[in-house]
Amino acid sequence: MTEPVRVALPKGRLGEKVLGLFTEAGFPCPEALADTRKLIFENPDKNVCFFWVKPSDVAIYVERGAADIGVAGKDILLEYEPDVFELLDLGTGVCRLAVAGPKEFRDSPERTLRVATKFSHVATEYYRRLGRDIDIIHLNGSIELAPLLGLSDVIVDIVETGKTLKENGLEVFETIVPVSARLIANPSAYQFKQTPITEITNALKEIVS
């Protein structure tokens, strides 16, 4: 028996949707959805091994070869620019990276704009292209709080339904880039396990297209 294909899945809501796609594509793993704290699951019939990873860590596992393939949001790929192949847009986890702030905020080009975000690289590049001076305030979560408490002028964050912004009196000023979940592969794994990885990719492609 050849080595299984190791798949890093993003733990949480997106991961459950993605596991649904793998199931439809013929690579099920019901055990992974059971109420358990286990992190590694095998499907010996399909010679695939799944593991749950924090969504922002999937690309690290794949880039370093601890996983052969994985599913990561385009937001994470743009932020960390990992050395991985992007094989397929899975069309799920659809949202956008956007600039948002308090409705009443008026920008003034003479002042440095204070930007709170988890996506420091994306935000820096976005404002560099606009030629705008900014001060990045890197946060790890609940980004919407920053402008409400005067920590920043605006935020660069994920907007999915827009509910979080709305409930906190914030609005989108600009969309930076659309985001969705991508199937990614480690470049050498893609070479050495090309047949099974291509089989998985094609099966997923069939159901998402």
Contact call for residue 33 and ligand PRP (CB under 6 A): no
Contact call for residue 159 and ligand PRP (CB under 6 A): yes
x/- letters, 126..155, toward ligand PRP (CB under 6 A):
---------------xxxx-----------
Contact call for residue 157 and ligand PRP (CB under 6 A): yes
Smallest distance, ligand PRP to C-beta of residue 114, A: 18
Rounded to whole angstroms, how far apart are CA atoms 113 and 206? 45
Q: Of residues 162-181, which lie at the interface with ligand PRP (CB under 6 A)? A: 162-164
Q: Say if CB 51 and CB 168 are below 8 A apart.
A: no
Q: How long a stretch of residues is the chain?
A: 209
User: Which one-letter amino acid corresponds to residue 34?
Assistant: A
Contact call for residue 75 and ligand PRP (CB under 6 A): no
Nearer to ligand PRP, 49 or 143 (CB): 143
Contact call for residue 16 and ligand PRP (CB under 6 A): no
DSSP letters, 40-108, are EEEETTTTEEEEEE-GGGHHHHHHTTSSSEEEEEHHHHHHH--S-EEEEE-S-S-EEEEEEEETT----
Contact call for residue 20 and ligand PRP (CB under 6 A): no
Tokens of 158: 């994920």
Nearer to ligand PRP, 158 or 207 (CB): 158
Q: Can you give the binding site for ligand PRP, defined by CB under 6 A?
A: 141-144, 157-164
